[in-house]
Amino acid sequence: MSRKIRMGMIGGGRGAFIGAVHRMAAALDGEMELVCGAFSSNPERSKLSGADLYLDPNRVYGSYQEMIDQERKMPEDIRMDFVTIVTPNHLHFGPSKLALENGFHVVCDKPLCFDLAQANELVKLVENNNSIFGLTYNYTGYPMVKQARQMVLQNEIGKIRRVVVSYSQGWLSTALEKTDQKQASWRTDPTKAGVGGALGDIGTHAHNLAEYITSLEITKVCADINKVVEGRQLDDDVNVLLKFNNGASGTLTATQVAAGDENDLSIKIYGETGGLEWNQMQPNTLIVKKLDKPTHYYRTGVGDLYPCTVAATRLPAGHPEGYLEAFANVYKNVAKCIQAKISKQELDPLHLDFPTVHDGLRGMQFVHKVIESGSSEKKWIQL
Integer distance in angstroms from the first to the last C-alpha of the chain? Answer: 46
Q: Should residue 175 be labelled a site residue for a copy of itself when binding is judged by CB under 8 A?
A: no
For residue 264, the cross-strand partners are 168
| Strand 237-244 to 105-108 pairing | unpaired
Name which of residues 204 to 233 contact a copy of itself (CB under 8 A). Answer: 222, 224, 226, 228
**Cβ distance to a copy of itself smaller for residue 129 or 263:** 263
Among 179, 182, 215, 297, binds a copy of itself (CB under 8 A): 297
Among 273, 347, 353, 356, binds a copy of itself (CB under 8 A): 273
Using left for φ > 0, alpha for ψ between -120 and 50, and beta otherwise, residue 380 falls in beta
Among 99, 164, 199, 367, binds a copy of itself (CB under 8 A): 164
Give CA separation, 208 vs 74, 84, 99, 122, 164, in Å: 37, 20, 25, 18, 13
Name which of residues 323 to 342 contact a copy of itself (CB under 8 A). Answer: 323-325
Using left for φ > 0, alpha for ψ between -120 and 50, and beta otherwise, residue 302 falls in beta
* Nearest residue to 65 (alpha-carbon basis) of 86, 51, 52, 83: 83
Among 129, 185, 219, 251, binds a copy of itself (CB under 8 A): 251
**Cβ distance to a copy of itself smaller for residue 23 or 119:** 23
Among 103, 322, 345, 382, binds a copy of itself (CB under 8 A): 322
CB of 198 to a copy of itself, least distance (A): 12
Q: Should residue 270 be labelled a site residue for a copy of itself when binding is judged by CB under 8 A?
A: yes
Residue range at the interface with a copy of itself (CB under 8 A); choices 148-156, 168-176, 191-199, 350-358: 168-176
Among 45, 72, 97, 162, binds a copy of itself (CB under 8 A): 162
Among 66, 69, 262, 348, binds a copy of itself (CB under 8 A): 262
**For residues 9-29, b (16+ Cβ closer than 10 Å) or e, as one string?**
bbbbbeebebbebbbebbbbe
For Cα atoms 49, 60, 3, give the angle at the middle one, nearest 5 degrees. 105
CA dist., res. 23 & res. 228, Å (int): 34
Among 258, 312, 330, 361, binds a copy of itself (CB under 8 A): 258
CB of 128 to a copy of itself, least distance (A): 32
Which sign does the torsion angle of CA 254, 256, 259, 262 carry?
positive
Residues 11-40 as x/- pattern, contact with a copy of itself by CB under 8 A: ------x--xx-xx--xxxx---x------
Residue range at the interface with a copy of itself (CB under 8 A); choices 123-131, 195-203, 210-218, 278-286: 278-286
* DSSP label of 200: I
Element (H, E) at 265: strand 264-271
CB of 241 to a copy of itself, least distance (A): 5
Q: Should residue 140 be labelled a site residue for a copy of itself when binding is judged by CB under 8 A?
A: no
